Structure 1
Amino acid sequence: MTESNLCGAEAAIVRDALECRDPLPGTAGFAGQLDDSLVRDVLGRVPLFVDAGATTTDGTAGHDPAWAFEPAALDDPRLVPAGAVAPVDDPLAGQRSHWTLPSPDPEPDQDAAIDTLANAIRTAGDAVGGGRRDVAVAFSGGVDSALVAELLDAPLYVVGFPDSHDVEAARTAAEAMGRDLTVVELKPEDLERAAPEVARATGRTNAMDVQIALPLYLVGERVAADGFDALAVGQGADELFGGYEKVVRLDHRVDAETVRGAVREQIEGLSRQLPRDVLTIRSTGLEPVAPFLHDAVLEAALRLPDPLLADDDERKRGFRRVATRYLPAEVATRDKKAVQYGSLVARELDRLARQAGYKRRIDDHVTKYVESLLEDADARSD
């Protein structure tokens, strides 16, 4: 084993976390091979895949490689669950859960909880930024990416079609913050070109995942062309702090019966979403930087009292109170649309699918369109 087989954290830190079963050892996530085991952090921030055909259940060696950080490197990739440990010689059948998300009691003092969260966010910004000057921010004009921009003091890039909500929101937010903004304006042909790249990188062709990943890919492509080597994002804030309407409505989209329980559901669901985002950004040649997914922030978020989560009047209340220390009130309090809608990527991809003959009456017509684009791209490359 070499430490280069581990991504995201030093081997000594992960060894200590293994021994102590510490789910939050102060990292921004990790995965890979440590000695004779494969490991993946409790939140699943670093993707890790094993090949279902690489070994047999009795431990008999099969073909190599047995694991990889991206699905395209394996014949039959399976995502290792968040918090899992598995033997390298039998990574599929030998998986076991080693770390679980903590369930600490909420901090009863709201002011103390806000101070703790503010300190954690600053710690995370320092840790993931590390004084680097080659980071740019995927900026939508919402509070999440605006706070990342202030923490890292990095250039701002927004992506979207010319009449999109995100482009206008980013312009007004950047003006309020006194910051310059680079606008990456999209055309329909950008989606046609990029959709196969996203599908190939993530191993996913379903409409929702591709619609979410496309803006990340296209802004990352521009950021990389401009000479940066990392892309900072606000990922995790909605999940950690109660940013979704469904956690207040407690509708059919959640199983929980309380706002606190619904927020926890969203946090636990991050392990399914993050591989898509990380793999998309990496496919552009950039490394993702996500301050709000640092262990320090996660730990503080889990201790927020219920009144600082969400209700009918305000979502992400505690997070916004921290944001007001850095941002103009009009930016710290504004809501935004999901990126696939705010950028108009979802609308335009649907339109392209229909133009190509995949009508809405066809089940999952956008997914079928993306699959056709990938097949055509693969055929051209053969």
Structure 2
Amino acid sequence: MRGAPAETIRGATADGDPFPGTAGFAGAVDGRVVRDVLGRQPVFTEAADPTTWSFDPSALADPASVPAGHARSPAGDERVWSLPDQEPAPDDSAAVRGVRDAVRSAIDETGTEGLAVAFSGGVDSAALAARLGAPLYVAGFPGSHDVEAARTAASTLGRDLRVVELAHEDVERAIPRVVAATGRTNAMDVSIALPLYLVAERAAADGFDRLAVGQGADELFGGYAKVARAPEDERVAADTVRGARREVVETLPAQLERDGLTLRGAGVEPVAPLLDDRVVAAALALSGPMLVTDRGERKWALRLAVREWVPDRVAFREKKAVQYGSLVSRELDRLARQAGYKRRMDDHVGRYVESLL
């Protein structure tokens, strides 16, 4: 079992509690293979033999991912835990205090032995960096938004920063390793995984075996533009900000599987304090205006919560998604075109990725 003792899982199974006080769990208990409600710990079984399982899909001949919130046995998959349909807290100020307490506790309990922090200069990673005395790492091409934002934010926090400056040969070298770890070749997954892999690889080479990441904050706290623009944005079906937030939260299992496999493939164990059960529960209690204000400011409650220890100029700054902020997506497209895979071709970047395998 990874992430929690078997007795905790038995108790959570008996009462259907999706948040039994963990940061995610998976593994075998009482003849079943289980995975927590947000899929924070990926686990796999043989497609034809659910009694044979592993945290590493490459260890199996025909791996099948266990769905989040489910238990798998020879009888099939059974849903055990579901996200609650939670009404917003009536007091926004109290809800923000709840977020503050949950985030602070989750971070402070992380521990810094063998730990580095993936730091992009945004509020998510700054909330971690400002409370963890661990080295900060950022990856990006020269002149990228993430590198510049991380430098200014690290300076504001009074912290040193280790920059992993990328070149095309780094991307080409890392692509087969990312695909081997994740089993994915599509352009979006690869462009997100590459900067994570290259940061983790450098941290591992420097002697660290754990990497703290700000995963989950965008999904839980309303960080996506499509959530802010609900219901006008066609990318979400919901007609409210809270409904759109739930839609993106339900995408977390696939994302966390990709990111966890990427980081472990690079030699580090992911640590995600912002996905602690206490943080998730506090985030789900937020009202729509605490996710996105009427001025369109996203992740509002999280920014208000962490300003206690993160300077405002960092807590309230906007940042780009990692694949764009690092310029990895742009340079991956450029490499594909240089290799003869033009944009007019269907999935030209995916074809380029597959050519390197």
TM over 0.5: yes
Q: Give 1:175 deviation, angstroms.
A: 0.8
Residue in 1 that maps onto 2:49: 54
Q: Which amino acid aligns with 2:85?
A: S
Q: Give 1:54 deviation, angstroms.
A: 2.9
Identical aligned pairs, as a percentage?
Answer: 62
Q: Give 1:53 deviation, angstroms.
A: 3.0
Q: Give 1:293 deviation, angstroms.
A: 0.4
User: Matches of residues 363-382 of structure 1 in structure 2 within 5 Å?
Assistant: 363-374=346-357
Distance (Å, rounded) in 1 between the aligned partners of 2:287 and 2:296: 16
Distance (Å, rounded) in 2 between the aligned partners of 1:67 and 1:370: 29
Aligned partner (choices 219, 238, 250) of residue 199 of structure 2: 219
Question: May I ask how many residue pairs the two structures share in their alignment?
Answer: 354
Q: Which amino acid aligns with 1:136?
A: A
Distance (Å, rounded) in 2 between the aligned partners of 1:197 and 1:69: 17
Residue in 1 that maps onto 2:26: 31
Aligned partner (choices 197, 203, 217) of residue 177 of structure 2: 197
Distance (Å, rounded) in 2 between the aligned partners of 1:355 and 1:224: 31
Aligned partner (choices 55, 59, 73) of residue 69 of structure 1: 55
Residue in 1 that maps onto 2:334: 351
Q: Give 1:152 deviation, angstroms.
A: 2.1
SS at match of 1:184: strand
Whether the aligned pair in 1 keeps the contact of 2:119 and 2:125 (CA below 8 Å) is yes
Root-mean-square deviation over aligned CA pairs? 1.2
Shift >3 Å, 4+ stretches: none
User: Matches of residues 32-111 of structure 1 in structure 2 within 5 Å?
Assistant: 32-54=27-49, 66-87=52-73, 90=74, 94-111=76-93
Q: Give 1:106 deviation, angstroms.
A: 1.4
Q: Which amino acid aligns with 2:237?
A: D
Distance (Å, rounded) in 1 between the aligned partners of 2:15 and 2:153: 44
Q: Give 1:151 deviation, angstroms.
A: 2.7
Distance (Å, rounded) in 1 between the aligned partners of 2:133 and 2:305: 17
Residue in 2 that maps onto 1:272: 254
Whether the aligned pair in 1 keeps the contact of 2:112 and 2:134 (CA below 8 Å) is no
User: Matches of residues 194-343 of structure 1 in structure 2 within 5 Å?
Assistant: 194-250=174-230, 251-311=233-293, 312-343=295-326
Structure 1 gap segments, 5+ residues each: 1-5, 56-64, 375-382
Q: Which amino acid aligns with 1:200?
A: A
Whether the aligned pair in 1 keeps the contact of 2:228 and 2:296 (CA below 8 Å) is no
Distance (Å, rounded) in 2 between the aligned partners of 1:291 and 1:355: 40
Whether the aligned pair in 2 keeps the contact of 1:142 and 1:169 (CA below 8 Å) is yes
Matched, 1:18 2:13: yes
Calculate the TM-score normalised by the size of structure 2. 0.97
SS at match of 1:358: coil
Calculate the TM-score normalised by the size of structure 1. 0.90
Q: Give 1:110 deviation, angstroms.
A: 1.3
